[in-house]
Amino acid sequence: MKLLLPLVLLSTLASCTATRNVVNNPRPSSVLPCRDAGIVNRGLGYVSQGVGQAETSTMDIVDDGSNFVGKVSDRQARDYTNIGVDAVYRTDDIAFRETNRYADYGMDTVDDGASFGSRAIRRWPGVVTGVMQRGMVSTKRVYQSALYTYGETVSRGLFGAVDIITPPEPKSYMVGSLNDLNGGYLLPGSGHHCRLPQLPVEPEQEQTYGKNPVTASK
């Protein structure tokens, strides 16, 4: 209502002025763009101002409302997202911890089994080889004692009997006497008669390898 009243007054004044100028002006419509346009624009400016104010208020409400909703939604979304992310992180930490725990338990069990197996492998074959070694030593004692007894029997029995009939040392007049070697003679048995004469030895003619001996002598 406040905006319509100035518009009515402006229209009334414009009509009065136009009526007064129509008589003296041969072109009454010329006042429309020159004078009445500004008056109408000023009157309509109040309307556009009101519409603009209403639009501004509406946009302010939309802006403030959306900002309010955005801040609340963003904060709540972040809070609940952080809750979910924290739950995911803690779930991963729990799974990682428990997995490492049972993995360590499993590998410790494997290590214990490997230690037991390696100890058994080192110990039990040693028992077998120890028994074999001691058996061999015992066997060696038995057959070494048997061989020693056999050797003593042969040495005392057979060779003792042989010693009874051992021939005496040959005399100097016997051919092949060992005493002949002590006199400096060359052949055994030659000491009873005389020393054999020494035969002259002619030197062998020297030969050159790869050459004819006759040609070389010339």
Crossing angle of the two packed helices 4-22 and 37-153, in degrees rounded to 10: 140
What is the arithmetic mean of pLDDT over 22-36?
A: 68
Write down the pLDDT at residue 218.
Answer: 46
Which has more confidence, 28 or 11? 28
Q: How confident is the model at residue 37 (pLDDT cuts 50, 70, 90)?
A: confident
Domain boundaries, the chain: 4-19+28-125
What is the arithmetic mean of pLDDT over 35-62?
A: 86
Q: Is the pTM of this model over 0.85?
A: no
CB atoms within 10 A of CB 191: 19
pLDDT digits (tens, 9 = 90+) for 62-71: 999 999 999 9
Which has more confidence, 76 or 129? 76
Inter-residue long-range contacts of 213-218, CB under 8 Å, 24+ positions, other chains counted: none
Distance CA 58, CA 71 (A): 20
pLDDT higher than threshold 80 for residue 7: no
Whole-Å CA distances, 172 to 165, 166, 191: 21, 18, 8
Write down the pLDDT at residue 42.
Answer: 82
Which has more confidence, 185 or 25? 25
CB 192 within 8 A of CB 172: yes
pLDDT, the chain, mean? 74
pLDDT digits (tens, 9 = 90+) for 102-151: 999 999 999 999 999 888 888 888 888 888 888 888 888 888 888 888 87
Write down the pLDDT at residue 46.
Answer: 85
What is the arithmetic mean of pLDDT over 83-109?
A: 95
Write down the pLDDT at residue 101.
Answer: 94
Distance CA 33, CA 39 (A): 10
Whole-Å CA distances, 204 to 209, 213, 217: 15, 13, 14
Write down the pLDDT at residue 216.
Answer: 47
